[in-house]
């Protein structure tokens, strides 16, 4: 099969077609077709030749971006078996077959129906086959060929990374590289000049230049100064077709900023400055500012200020504010207008970060002179001392002078001063001050032992300007006088053993004095000389502010005397000396041989009330026990009597319990009322109704008439004997209650126990004869009687 292409229109393609046509059969032996006829030449007869091998062509070209109204002709397929009678049918398959590429199945002509873009797809692989139209059998094996999309210059160069932002140091040398830009072209770089890009600068000259081949941007001037111009906008163009006319182009913007270098020294705007500072300015406060200008920025403009000379270098100081780069003038010492009215300072401002490449532009420092004028201010009075300490003796009379404070007006006017005490604390009220002289006096009598020190605040103000006030602290120390006698350091519990020997030390005592050491550091101990010589004990002064108590005889007896009292006289060494007398209590105790106390008489441990703690505890314990007994007794008396038979499920079968209630006094059947009768009402012996007796009852030996005179105690004993001898009682204790009310009164008994079993026999009219005390009772029984009658 022969494939004919009409796309080989350029000389290069013609040569390529020739080479491929000559070598195609060698490289693609599978597509072998013989040609059986030659072209007829006009005017000549047909000439027959020996059959030759057919040529093979396996590649087509089609131009991209075809915009014609008709499909673009690509090429032609032809088989040597095709005699032109339409018996051969050409079939095209593969990429784009039937959609992009169509074939005339009779002639084998291939057309492109769509506009193609090489940048989207560079080639298409298709398969061709010739078959017999009648039998649909292939006449040749299937052949593969390629249709390449031929590039045209339809894409302009593009800067994919633009726009650009870049910096370069100022004062750089000419030709310093700034940035390299790159443009890309989507056209085929292997075909023609469609993708060959050339760079040029459209904007930014004469400051910058660009290499046309590499796109490297460089500085084009010497010593470009940031302080003159800092920002530049450079436009770079990229053009294809090697920059020829008709080529496509693209551009980008490069924003170039010059960075700062330290090429400008600092400069003070003026060579002389003047500053006013009032003399009342506080030490350490900022009194002024100064600044040297530097055209540089950042660390290149950092500066340090110093005072290099001047008569005010010891009074003022300068520091640098890193944020504002200003010199802060501060006061080191107080100002006094009356002593010095002005100062002169020479201040230097210098860069801290130097670039030695530009040292020829220096020096990178500057000096200016600052004159400071001290302003006069009306100042408050000034005390001659920063604080005062004064002394006064305790017990001094009210109005005693303590000391004097002095203040003066530091101004030239030298105004008069008035003194007063701030009444802010309680201590300030204990003193007074003379408003004119400043003399401080006492306002109370002081006791050093109570408060040894006082702090007060004294104020001074000018008479002409009372608002100007100054203060000073005054400390007043209270001096001691010997006004407190010495006394024993503590309460001593002195014990002497019964087996003590003469001259034995039984106690060492010390003393204290509220006065300070100057009025009582030395104590003298002695026995009271006004008393007779003590035969039992003596005292020895140890001359070290202590004294020892010694025994004067052998053996002491607790039974004879268990307590001794020894008066001791103590005096101090003050002027005048003071003394006091104390009495030591010495107890006699039984001791072991080694001197340990074994026991002492009980009275030796008693307090002033005469009872020891143990005795008090014993008494309280007895009282508590008695109270517990009384409470228990009252509780038992008030407690309710429990029934004899508690459980309803008692195992004894002869006990019967009933849960019904009686009918009161009128009910004589539910309860044997004779158990409550008194001796005078008993007529006969009644036996237990809940047990059947097995023996005959024992008759009484006493007549009923004798019961009137029987005593209650005898009656109870008789009943107890009967209960003990009664064989019919249950085999456990039985409780019988006798409610005896005593002998009859003169008014007679109103109890129902003596009443008859029926109420019809009882007459209550006699209650009305008993007097007004029984009037209410007579009315009640009268109503009951009337109801019964009714």
> Cα torsion for 623, 628, 629, 635, to the nearest 10°?
150
Assigned fold of 158-259: Immunoglobulin-like (2.60.40)
Give the number of other Cβ atoms within 10 Å of residue 639's Cβ: 8
Report the alpha-carbon distance of residue 317 to residue 331 in Å, rounded.
Answer: 6
Contact 105, 94 (CB under 8 A): no
Q: What is the pTM of this model?
A: 0.43
Residue partners of 401: CB distance under 8 A and separation at least 6:
439, 440, 441
Q: Which superfamily, per CATH, for 59-150?
A: Cadherins (2.60.40.60)
pLDDT digits (tens, 9 = 90+) for 652-687: 445 555 555 555 555 555 445 454 445 544 444 444
- Spell out, as residue ranges, where the chain has pLDDT lower than 70: 1-57, 517-521, 601-612, 640-711, 729-763, 775, 779, 782-790
**SS3 state of residue 416:** coil
What is the distance, to the nearest Å, from the Cα of residue 598 to the centroid of all Cα atoms in its chain?
64
530-561 per-position pLDDT tens digit? 777 888 999 999 988 899 999 998 888 888 88
pLDDT reported for residue 240: 87
Count of other CB atoms within 10 angstroms of residue 676: 16
Integer Cα distance of 461 and 628 in angstroms: 81
CATH superfamily for domain 487-598: Cadherins (2.60.40.60)
Reported as a single tens digit per residue, the pLDDT across 718-744 is: 877 877 777 776 655 656 665 555 555
Question: What's the pLDDT score for residue 20?
Answer: 35
Residue ranges of the chain that CATH labels 2.60.40.60: 59-150, 158-259, 272-375, 382-479, 487-598
Q: What pLDDT score does 640 carry?
A: 55
Q: How far apart are CA 288 and CA 293, in angstroms?
A: 17
Rounded CA-CA distance 533/548 in Å is: 17
**How far, in Å, CA of 343 to CA of 275, rounded?**
10
Single out the residue of 730, 725, 722 nearest to residue 686, CA to CA: 722
CATH of 382-479, picked from 2.60.40.60, 2.40.50.180, 2.30.30.90, 1.10.4030.10, is 2.60.40.60
Distance, in Å, from the CA atom of 645 to the CA atom of 429, rounded to the nearest integer, reads: 90
Distance in angstroms between the alpha carbons of the first and the last residue of the chain: 160
What is the rounded CA–CA span in Å between residue 57 and residue 108? Answer: 14
Q: Which CATH class is domain 272-375?
A: mainly beta
Q: Which of 166, 404, 374 is nearest to 279 (CA)?
A: 374
List b or e across 151-189, with b for residues whose CB sees 16 or more CB atoms inside 10 angstroms: bbbebbbebeeeebeeebebbbeeeeebbebebebbbbe
């Amino acid at each position: 099969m022969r494939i004919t292409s009409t796309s080989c229109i350029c000389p290069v393609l013609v040569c390529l077609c020739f080479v491929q046509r000559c070598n195609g059969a060698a490289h693609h032996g599978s597509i072998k077709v013989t040609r059986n006829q030659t072209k007829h030449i006009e005017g000549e007869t047909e000439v027959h030749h020996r059959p030759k091998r057919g040529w093979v062509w396996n590649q087509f070209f089609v131009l991209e971006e075809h915009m014609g109204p008709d499909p673009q002709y690509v090429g032609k397929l032809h088989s040597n078996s095709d005699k032109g009678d339409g018996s051969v049918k050409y079939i095209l398959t593969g990429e784009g077959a039937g959609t992009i590429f169509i074939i005339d199945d009779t002639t084998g002509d291939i057309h492109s129906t769509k506009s193609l873009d090489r940048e989207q797809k560079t080639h298409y692989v298709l398969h061709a086959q010739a078959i017999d139209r009648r039998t649909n059998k292939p006449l040749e094996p299937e052949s593969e060929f390629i249709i390449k999309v031929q590039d045209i210059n339809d894409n302009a160069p593009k800067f994919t990374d633009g726009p650009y932002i870049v910096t370069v140091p100022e004062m750089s040398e000419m030709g310093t590289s700034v940035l390299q830009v790159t443009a890309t072209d989507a056209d085929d770089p292997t075909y023609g000049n469609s993708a060959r890009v050339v760079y040029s600068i459209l904007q930014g000259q004469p400051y910058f230049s660009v290499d046309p081949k590499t796109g490297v941007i460089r500085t084009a001037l010497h010593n470009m100064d940031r302080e003159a111009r800092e920002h530049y906008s450079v436009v770079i163009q990229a053009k294809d077709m090697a920059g020829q006319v008709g080529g496509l182009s693209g551009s980008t913007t490069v924003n170039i900023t010059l960075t700062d270098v330290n090429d400008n020294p600092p400069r003070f705007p003026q060579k002389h400055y003047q500053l006013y500072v009032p003399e009342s300015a506080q030490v350490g406060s900022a009194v002024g500012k100064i600044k040297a200008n530097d055209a540089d920025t950042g660390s290149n403009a950092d500066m340090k200020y110093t005072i290099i000379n001047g008569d005010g270098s010891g009074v003022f100081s300068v520091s640098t504010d890193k944020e504002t780069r200003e010199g802060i003038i501060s006061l080191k010492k107080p100002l006094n207008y009356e002593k010095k009215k002005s100062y002169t300072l020479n201040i230097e401002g210098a860069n801290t970060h130097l670039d030695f490449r530009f040292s020829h532009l220096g020096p990178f420092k500057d000096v200016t002179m600052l004159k400071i004028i001290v302003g006069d201010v009306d100042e408050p009075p000034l005390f001659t001392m920063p604080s005062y300490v004064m002394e006064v003796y305790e017990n001094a009379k009210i109005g005693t002078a303590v000391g004097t404070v002095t203040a003066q007006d530091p101004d030239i006017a030298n105004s008069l001063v008035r003194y007063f005490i701030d009444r802010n604390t309680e201590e300030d009220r204990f003193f007074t001050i003379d408003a004119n002289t400043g003399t401080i006096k006492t306002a109370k009598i002081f006791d050093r032992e109570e408060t040894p020190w006082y702090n007060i605040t004294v104020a001074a103000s000018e008479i002409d300007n009372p608002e100007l006030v100054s203060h000073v602290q005054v400390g007043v120390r209270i001096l001691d006088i010997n006004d407190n006698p010495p006394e024993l350091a503590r309460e001593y519990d002195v014990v002497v053993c019964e087996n003590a020997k003469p001259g034995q030390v039984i106690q060492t005592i010390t003393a204290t004095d509220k006065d300070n050491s100057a009025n009582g550091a030395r104590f003298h101990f002695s026995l009271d000389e006004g008393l007779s010589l003590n035969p039992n004990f003596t005292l020895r002064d140890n001359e070290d502010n202590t004294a020892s108590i010694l025994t004067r005889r052998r053996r002491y007896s607790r039974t004879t005397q268990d307590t001794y009292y020894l008066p001791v006289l103590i005096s101090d060494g003050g002027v005048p000396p003071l003394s006091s007398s104390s009495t030591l209590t010495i107890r006699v105790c039984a001791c072991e041989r080694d001197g340990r106390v074994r026991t002492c008489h009980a009275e030796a441990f008693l307090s002033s009330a005469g009872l020891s703690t143990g005795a008090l505890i014993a008494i309280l314990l007895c009282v508590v026990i008695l109270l517990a007994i009384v409470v228990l007794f009252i509780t038992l008396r008030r407690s309710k009597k429990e029934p004899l038979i508690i459980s309803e499920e008692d195992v004894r079968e002869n006990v019967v319990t009933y849960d019904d209630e009686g009918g009161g006094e009128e009910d004589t059947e539910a309860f044997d009322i004779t158990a409550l009768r008194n001796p005078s009402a008993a007529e006969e012996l009644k036996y237990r109704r809940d047990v059947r007796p097995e023996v005959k009852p024992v008759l009484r030996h006493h007549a009923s008439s004798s019961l009137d005179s029987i005593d209650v105690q005898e009656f109870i004993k008789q009943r107890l004997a009967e209960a003990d001898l009664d064989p019919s009682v249950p085999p456990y204790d039985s409780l019988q209650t006798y409610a005896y009310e005593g002998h009859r009164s003169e008014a007679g008994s109103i109890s129902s126990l003596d009443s008859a079993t029926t109420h019809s026999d009882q007459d209550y009219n006699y209650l009305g004869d008993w007097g007004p005390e029984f009037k209410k009772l007579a009315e009640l029984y009268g109503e009951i009687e009337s109801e019964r009658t009714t």
